[in-house]
Amino acid sequence: MAVLVRLTSIYERVGFDVSTGLNPTHVYGEPVAPFTYLLKDGEIWKAAAGIAVQELYFLEALAEAWQPRHVLIVGNAFGWSAVAMAMIFPRARILAIDAAASEGIDLTNRIAANEGLDNLLAVQASSPGDIAQLAASHAHQTAWDLLFIDGEHSKEQAAVDFAAIRPHADPEALWLFHDAISFSYLDAVERLGEKSGLVFQPLWRTPSGIAALVPQSLVTSVAPVLHAFAGSEQAFRHMRRLGRFGAGERLLSGLRCPEI
């Protein structure tokens, strides 16, 4: 079953209404509409957003090409990406951390227990400060080989997270930096790739603009998946020009938020 079907059902069963995958033009241009929010009693529960539907689909496609053994997620919020990855990568262990003392950690662990996801653990911890300790307690046998970096989104933090985690990660790990385009830190991820011999690939077709750093050993197996969620930079830049100079505006004028 598609992970979106299972995920939405899980969060609804614990009492949330879920908003995800909306088209911004349907909600007065709200740019965060594609991302995931939980609602309780008609209000957004916690400000942080979970990954978008297309990003779940990307992870599912990735799982068909390659299965990690140990995933570290920096930035858990309410566990949307962590629960998803526990189901998408059933043979991997998933450790999700969040700096906030939050009900999100408890919620994630409760869902893991309810759903029999014994490969998932969420803990309150911060990157970079707690990484060495976490590696000693959780990654001494199996190094992290998929890093999903989705905490504070900035050039500086990308470098700090990478420097803290890399010594404890598998040298052949795949790195995914969420929001690299939306938060303008694509160039910082590219520099990390250059310095460490990892292949840099922005995923233009993901709503947040995920940036991947890929070890040479994985390039052949994951390239078709990355390409499907990247396309060409030329096509992406063409659409940006359309948006910037108005052709897209004319094209979309008939699709403005309808009165309903």
196, 153, 90, 116 alpha-carbon torsion, rounded to 10°: 150
- 18, 53, 81, 144: residue in contact with ligand SAM (rule CB under 6 A): 81
- 4, 22, 99, 199: residue in contact with ligand SAM (rule CB under 6 A): 99
CB of 97 to ligand SAM, least distance (A): 5
Q: Does 88 bind ligand SAM (CB under 6 A)?
A: no
Cα–Cα distance measured from residue 258 to residue 103, given in angstroms and rounded to the nearest whole number: 37
- 57, 58, 80, 144: residue in contact with ligand SAM (rule CB under 6 A): 80
CB of 219 to ligand SAM, least distance (A): 25
Q: Does 50 bind ligand SAM (CB under 6 A)?
A: yes
Among residue numbers 117 through 136, which ones bind ligand SAM (CB under 6 A)? 126-127
Among residue numbers 157 through 186, which ones bind ligand SAM (CB under 6 A)? none
Please, which residue, 104 or 215, has the CB nearer to ligand SAM? 104
Cα–Cα distance measured from residue 232 to residue 243, given in angstroms and rounded to the nearest whole number: 17
At residue 77, the 3 state secondary structure works out as: coil
Of the candidates 147, 151, 146, 144, the one whose C-alpha atom is nearest the C-alpha of residue 124 is 151
Structure tokens at 9: 């059902």
- 20, 89, 98, 205: residue in contact with ligand SAM (rule CB under 6 A): 98
Please, which residue, 100 or 199, has the CB nearer to ligand SAM? 100
Structure tokens at 140: 């001494």
Q: Does 54 bind ligand SAM (CB under 6 A)?
A: no
Please, which residue, 147 or 225, has the CB nearer to ligand SAM? 147
Determine the interface stretch with ligand SAM among 26-34, 98-106, 165-173, 184-192 (rule: CB under 6 A).
98-106
Contacts of 186 (CB under 8 A, 6+ apart): 180, 202, 209, 211
Phi-psi category of residue 30: left, alpha or beta, with phi > 0 → left and psi -120 to 50 → alpha: beta
Cβ burial, residue 137 (10 Å; 0-12/13-18/19+): exposed
- 97, 121, 149, 214: residue in contact with ligand SAM (rule CB under 6 A): 97
β-bridge pairing 120-124 and 93-98: parallel
Please, which residue, 127 or 206, has the CB nearer to ligand SAM? 127
Residues that bind ligand SAM (CB under 6 A): 48-51, 73-77, 80-81, 97-100, 126-127, 150-152
